[in-house]
């Protein structure tokens, strides 16, 4: 075993060990816990940076253990792994900082941060999994480690949301396991491979492959919140803001989307998926989800619920992108994995700031908040415009790339969906921005707190500003090497010419 | 020591773009007001001091950035910089402390967008700046916070978002057809594309929202008047031209004759030029009259765009004329708008002088000899000579232009008439007067030293029309004056009874 083989293991272990250490720490060890959290997050970020550079240069990171004959546990890092791992590492650091400030003086912080690290370890495992079996292990670990976070507050609504969440995700997990087992029976233990495995599959197994694909998408679609499997997500809004931020931007929904991309590109292969006629229905489903969830978002009065439906809509961009048989459109879908994460985490951080600082939860309470909290509101504005797809922000790069790619393969209807989705996004974000900046504030806020010089606690103030700056940067500097767009292009280059 | 254009352009765009950051420091808010006039200065230097032809390549920007300046863009850049400069000077004196910081932030962002789109050559940058101008402009429109402003803002925003989406779709399709991320490749790509007509429709409509194309103009007479006066001036003088520039740099001029689209634009231009005047003279508020006058004037430019589309050989001749006309109209209209926020001096002689200065840019719009308007009208006339054109509607153009002058002057007279009832005697803040006088000076005097080009259509000396041209310029104005007099008389008689 060389060092290269172990780097993915180390990257996985940082969050895992941090999690165990935090569980062991006493509830009062606030400083030590914060230190452990931040050191682990920085360490992981460093390891991911090393791996990104390595993957770019063509280094092979991988390690595998045979569990039982025919079933192997494989960790490896390819370009696509690093996309998800990078997202997870960067946003974990920021969310940790944010969560420290958000949960100041609240009970059960030890439990919270323990599961929080465990959840991040799961996403890392999902990113580095080298075959479906390994992927499944971490996928389920993610379910179990996020449940305590969703019900963290312990209220009646939180417990109810947690139940819904478990029912949905465990059922999804069972379906996924069934599909993986069936596929194992049909084709054996398949590692994720650029270009896939089924380009010249035996016609006898076509029917099975189609059915397995449907089951796989159904199982993964629960976490990716594809219609009609999205019902748990808006309910999970009762979780504290940092959890929502993580669930929406990084962990759960992205794990589902990531899995679907893996299945399409690295198990079946995009050509085989297209030949089996699997992509087109998937693209319709994604397009429908995009529009349906946006319409639902319009009618929400609670800010976080509106953002939740927006997530349902935006995650399906990724699915839509990869279900178009063409490299450019797929780049647009993949790049949204990062873009949506950065933008959405910004919006959730801001929603959390309004809730913590002013006690604002509903949209009609936001009048005039821009003047009271300019930093947070600027960040929110950038995030919202990014979601609308206004240039030169992250969302525009996604839409432009996906649009160009769809036109290149004569799927013009996708452009219409993109534009309609932009219109709907404008319809549910612009009124919020109007309230923020152009309405006069009421006499008092629902529940205001003060933090000296800044508009809110420094722990809460800087993360959204940083992610908002990233939203601008990944758009404006889209053509730099190692930008999300360039990285997505690298992935597709390797997928289409393995 | 003169900076090269490619460096100066970064300063010109980034200065207004970064200026809003001043708002983060509470102590700097008072200073923000005085920085307003400084913001467009580098851009002005760029337009006047750098030779067209420089390029700034930024391969890391969006999908590959390229900013450059050619003769056409230079005029639009100049117009934008000058107008924002005079409006900025005016704003220093005009603005109250009501949400001053917010206004300055949106001012800077809108200006950055408006300047940037004139030098952006790649699609991504152009569309980014265009969108920035559109969305930040909302903040200027609703600034006063009255119910009327909020209503106007809502209409503005809905139309603007629809327009943005049409542009996005049009640019996407055009970019795919051309296989390029540069504006310069779009005309050829559109002309050869099987989806040509769809792309044309999207771009014409999308940019048409900004340019006040008839049926897409509803927001304009609502939004331009409710904005604070300096913002009205840049909305109607400079930002409206962004739509025009959008057409000029994307549509397939000179690639293929498009008689259908040409005829459509000619008709739309004629409807705009005449129709807006009919509606405009019925308005009760001075700035609303000017907003309709802007639609009417844009109608004449739309008409020229239509001719250039229909007769592909004529496009290179007409481009400089359209740019010249846009420059003239922007400066004159800006001056007129700024006069709407003035107070009059007390003495009889200074007051008469003030009225002359208020009226002159308006008469310039109608083509008064020895003004920029006379030159623009003559160049347009020569550009649209019937025997030079190959299109069905050619014989209608000359009477249309004459009717346009009548319409223009009637609107200007209507504006002056309402203004006479509205303006009060009082003192003006010095900066407000300085801004207004600069605007008029630029429109009437400095214009003659600006780098426009009449393409040899008008014989030199360009400022001195020949006797027969004088008559051609004056007779529609006399008709309009006669009509106005008759109206005044009639209303006086009605009052007597």
pLDDT for B253-268, tens place per residue?
A: 988 888 899 999 999 9
Burial B225-247 (b: 16+ CB within 10 A, else e): bbbbbbbbbbbbbbbbbbbbbbb
In order, the DSSP letters of A151-173 are TTT--HHHHHHHHHHHHHHHHHH
Are A461 and A454 spatial neighbours (Cβ–Cβ below 8 Å)?
Answer: yes
- Residue B168 at interface with chain A, using a CB cutoff of 8 Å: yes
* CA distances from residue A160 to A154, A167, A209 in whole angstroms, order as listed: 10, 11, 37
What percent of chain A shows pLDDT beyond 90?
Answer: 64
Q: Do B176 and A404 touch (CB under 8 A)?
A: yes
Q: Which residues of A touch B176 (CB under 8 A)?
A: 404, 407-408
- Residue A482 at interface with chain B, using a CB cutoff of 8 Å: no
pLDDT at A1 over 70: no
Residues A25-41, mean pLDDT to the nearest whole number: 88
- Of the listed ranges A167-181, A448-462, B38-52, B108-122, the one predicted with least confidence: A448-462
Are B363 and B382 spatial neighbours (Cβ–Cβ below 8 Å)?
Answer: no
Q: Which residues contact B254 (CB under 8 A, 6 or more apart)?
A: B187, B308, B312, B313, B315, B316
Best residue in A372, A426, A465, A469 to probe B by mutation, most B CBs within 10 Å? A426
Pairing of strands B65-68, B55-58: antiparallel
Q: Which of B63, B142, B176 sits opposite A479 (nearest CB)?
A: B63
Q: What is the pLDDT of residue B2?
A: 61
Nearest residue to B171 (alpha-carbon basis) of B199, B196, B197, B192: B199
Q: What is the pLDDT of residue A43?
A: 93
Token pair belonging to A223: 């976490």
Residues B383-398, mean pLDDT to the nearest whole number: 81
Q: What is the pLDDT of residue A498?
A: 62
Q: What is the pLDDT of residue B127?
A: 96
- Residue A399 at interface with chain B, using a CB cutoff of 8 Å: yes
- Residue B100 at interface with chain A, using a CB cutoff of 8 Å: no
Report the chain A residue with the minimal C-alpha distance to residue B170. A415
pLDDT for B52-95, tens place per residue?
A: 889 999 999 988 899 999 999 999 999 999 999 999 999 999 99
CA distance B126 to chain A (A): 10
- Of the listed ranges A143-152, B119-128, B355-364, B379-388, the one predicted with least confidence: B379-388
Q: Do B128 and A392 touch (CB under 8 A)?
A: yes
Q: Which of B24, B61, B173 sits opposite A407 (nearest CB)?
A: B173
Token pair belonging to A291: 């529009």
CB-CB neighbours of A409 under 10 Å: 14
CA angle A416/A421/A427 to nearest 5° reads 130
Q: For chain A, what are the domain ranges?
A: 277-497
The Cα–Cα gap between A111 and B135 comes to 45
Residue A63 bridge partners (DSSP): A75
- Contact residues, A window 436-475, toward B, CB-based 8 Å cutoff: 437-438, 440, 475
CA distance B241 to chain A (A): 20
- Contact residues, B window 2-41, toward A, CB-based 8 Å cutoff: 23-24
- Residue A171 at interface with chain B, using a CB cutoff of 8 Å: no
The Cα–Cα gap between B202 and B46 comes to 32
Q: Is pTM beyond 0.85 here?
A: yes
- Residue A480 at interface with chain B, using a CB cutoff of 8 Å: yes
pLDDT for A207-218, tens place per residue?
A: 999 999 999 999
pLDDT for B195-248, tens place per residue?
A: 999 999 999 999 999 999 999 999 999 999 999 999 999 999 999 999 999 999
CB-CB neighbours of B462 under 10 Å: 15
How many residues in total does chain B contain? 497
Mean of pLDDT over chain B: 91
In order, the DSSP letters of B201-265 are HHHHHHHHHHHT-TTS-THHHHHHHHS-HHHHHHIIIIIHHHHHHHHHHHS-TTTS--HHHHHHH
- Residue B316 at interface with chain A, using a CB cutoff of 8 Å: no
Residues A67-88, mean pLDDT to the nearest whole number: 88
Q: For chain B, what are the domain ranges?
A: 1-30+95-252, 253-496
Which residue's structure tokens are 């309470």?
A365
Q: How far apart are the first and last CA of chain B?
A: 72
Q: Which of A375, A391, A415 sits opposite B124 (nearest CB)?
A: A391
Residues A419-448, mean pLDDT to the nearest whole number: 92
pLDDT at B1 over 50: no
- Residue B226 at interface with chain A, using a CB cutoff of 8 Å: no
CA distance B67 to chain A (A): 14
CA distance A44 to chain B (A): 28
Phi-psi region of B77 (alpha: psi -120 to 50; beta: other; left: phi over 0): alpha
Q: What is the pLDDT of residue A285?
A: 95
Q: Do A438 and B24 touch (CB under 8 A)?
A: no
| A8, containing H or E segment | helix A3-24
The Cα–Cα gap between A316 and A283 comes to 9
pLDDT for A269-302, tens place per residue?
A: 999 999 999 999 999 999 999 999 999 999 999 9
- Residue A391 at interface with chain B, using a CB cutoff of 8 Å: yes
pLDDT at B123 over 90: yes
List for chain A the helix, strand, coil content (%; round to 5): 75, 5, 20
Angle, helix A458-476 to helix A79-102, in steps of 10 degrees:
150
């Amino acid at each position: 075993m060389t060092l290269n083989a172990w780097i993915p293991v180390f990257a996985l272990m940082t969050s895992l060990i941090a999690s165990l250490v935090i569980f062991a720490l006493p509830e009062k060890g606030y400083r030590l816990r914060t230190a452990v959290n931040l050191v682990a997050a920085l360490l992981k970020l460093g390891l991911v940076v090393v791996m990104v550079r390595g993957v770019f240069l063509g280094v092979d990171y991988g390690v595998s253990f045979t569990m039982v004959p025919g079933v192997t546990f494989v960790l490896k890092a390819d370009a696509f792994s690093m996309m998800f791992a990078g997202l997870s590492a960067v946003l974990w650091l920021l969310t940790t900082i944010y969560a420290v400030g958000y949960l100041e003086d609240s009970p059960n912080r030890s439990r919270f941060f323990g599961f929080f690290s465990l959840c991040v370890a799961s996403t890392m495992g999902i990113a580095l999994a080298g075959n479906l079996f390994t992927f499944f292990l971490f996928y389920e670990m993610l379910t179990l480690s996020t449940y305590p976070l969703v019900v963290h507050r312990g209220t009646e609504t939180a417990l109810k949301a947690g139940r819904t969440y478990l029912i949905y995700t465990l059922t999804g997990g069972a379906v996924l396991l069934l599909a993986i087992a069936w596929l194992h029976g049909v084709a054996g233990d398949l590692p994720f491979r650029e270009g896939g495995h089924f380009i010249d599959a035996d016609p006898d197994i076509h029917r099975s492959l189609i059915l397995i694909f449907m089951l796989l998408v159904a199982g993964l679609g629960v976490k990716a919140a594809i219609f009609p499997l999205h019902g748990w997500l808006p309910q999970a809004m009762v979780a504290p803001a940092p959890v929502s931020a993580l669930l929406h931007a990084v962990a759960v929904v992205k794990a589902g989307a990531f899995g679907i991309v893996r299945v399409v590109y690295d198990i079946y292969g995009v050509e085989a998926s297209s030949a089996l006629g699997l992509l087109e229905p998937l693209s319709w489903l994604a397009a429908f989800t995009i529009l349906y969830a946006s319409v639902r978002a319009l009618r929400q009065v609670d800010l976080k619920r509106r953002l939740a439906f927006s997530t349902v809509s935006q995650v399906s961009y990724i699915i839509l992108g990869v279900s178009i048989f063409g490299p450019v459109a797929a780049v647009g879908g993949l790049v949204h994995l990062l873009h949506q994460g950065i933008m959405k985490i910004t919006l959730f951080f801001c929603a959390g700031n309004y809730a913590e600082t002013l006690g604002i939860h509903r949209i009609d309470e936001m009048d005039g908040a821009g003047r009271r909290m300019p930093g947070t509101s600027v960040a929110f504005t950038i995030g919202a415009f990014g979601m609308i797809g206004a240039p030169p922000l992250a969302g525009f790069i996604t839409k432009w790339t996906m649009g160009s790619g769809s036109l290149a393969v004569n799927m013009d209807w996708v452009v219409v969906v993109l534009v309609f989705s932009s219109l709907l996004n404008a319809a549910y974000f612009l009124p919020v921005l109007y309230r923020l900046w152009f309405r006069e504030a009421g006499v008092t806020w629902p529940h205001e707190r003060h933090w000296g010089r800044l508009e809110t606690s420094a722990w809460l103030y800087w993360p959204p500003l940083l992610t908002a700056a990233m939203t601008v940067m990944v758009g404006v500097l889209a053509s730099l090497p190692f930008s999300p767009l360039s990285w997505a292009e690298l992935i597709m280059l390797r997928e289409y010419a393995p | 020591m003169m900076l090269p254009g490619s460096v100066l352009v970064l300063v010109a765009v980034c200065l207004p773009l970064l200026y809003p950051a001043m708002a983060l420091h509470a102590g700097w808010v008072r200073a923000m007001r005085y920085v307003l006039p400084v913001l467009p200065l580098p851009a002005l230097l760029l337009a006047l001091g750098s030779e067209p032809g420089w390029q700034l390549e930024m391969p890391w920007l969006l999908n590959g950035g390229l900013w450059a300046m050619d003769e056409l863009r230079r005029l639009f850049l100049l117009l934008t910089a000058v107008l924002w400069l005079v409006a900025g000077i005016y704003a220093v004196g005009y603005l109250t402390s009501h949400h001053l910081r917010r206004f300055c932030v949106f001012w800077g962002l809108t200006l950055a967008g408006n300047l940037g789109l004139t030098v952006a050559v790649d699609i991504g940058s152009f569309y980014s700046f265009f969108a920035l101008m559109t969305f930040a402009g909302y903040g200027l429109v609703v600034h006063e916070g009255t119910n009327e402003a909020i209503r106007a803002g809502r209409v503005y925003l809905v139309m603007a978002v629809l327009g943005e989406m049409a542009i996005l779709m049009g640019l996407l399709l055009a970019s795919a057809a051309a296989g390029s991320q540069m504006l310069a490749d779009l005309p050829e790509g559109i002309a050869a594309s099987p989806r040509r007509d769809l792309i044309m429709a999207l771009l014409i409509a999308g940019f048409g929202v900004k340019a006040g194309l008839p049926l897409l103009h509803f927001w304009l007479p609502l939004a331009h008047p409710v904005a604070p006066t300096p913002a009205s001036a840049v909305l109607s003088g400079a930002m409206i031209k962004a739509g025009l520039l959008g057409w000029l740099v994307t549509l397939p001029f000179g690639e293929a004759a498009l008689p259908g689209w040409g005829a459509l634009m000619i008709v739309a231009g004629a409807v705009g030029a005449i129709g807006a005047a009919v509606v405009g003279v019925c308005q009760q508020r001075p700035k609303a009259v000017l907003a309709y006058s802007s639609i009417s004037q844009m109608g004449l430019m739309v008409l020229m765009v239509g001719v250039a589309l229909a007769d592909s050989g004529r496009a290179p001749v007409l481009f400089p004329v359209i740019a010249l006309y846009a420059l003239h109209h922007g400066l004159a209209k800006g001056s007129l708008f700024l006069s709407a926020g003035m107070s009059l001096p007390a003495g009889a002689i200074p007051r008469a002088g003030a009225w002359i200065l208020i009226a002159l840019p308006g008469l310039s719009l109608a083509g008064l000899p020895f003004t920029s308007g006379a030159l623009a009208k003559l160049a347009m006339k020569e550009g649209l000579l019937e025997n030079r054109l190959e299109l069905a509607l050619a014989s209608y153009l000359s009477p249309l232009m004459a009717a346009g002058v009548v319409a223009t002057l009637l609107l200007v007279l209507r504006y002056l008439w309402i203004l006479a009832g509205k303006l009060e005697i009082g003192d003006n803040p010095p900066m407000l007067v300085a801004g207004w006088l600069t605007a008029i000076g630029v429109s009437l005097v400095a214009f003659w030293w600006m780098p426009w080009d009449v393409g040899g259509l008008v014989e030199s000396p360009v400022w001195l029309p020949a006797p027969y041209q004088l008559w051609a310029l004056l007779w529609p104005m006399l008709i309009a004056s006669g009509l106005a007099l008759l109206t005044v008389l009639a209303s006086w008689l009605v009052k007597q009874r």
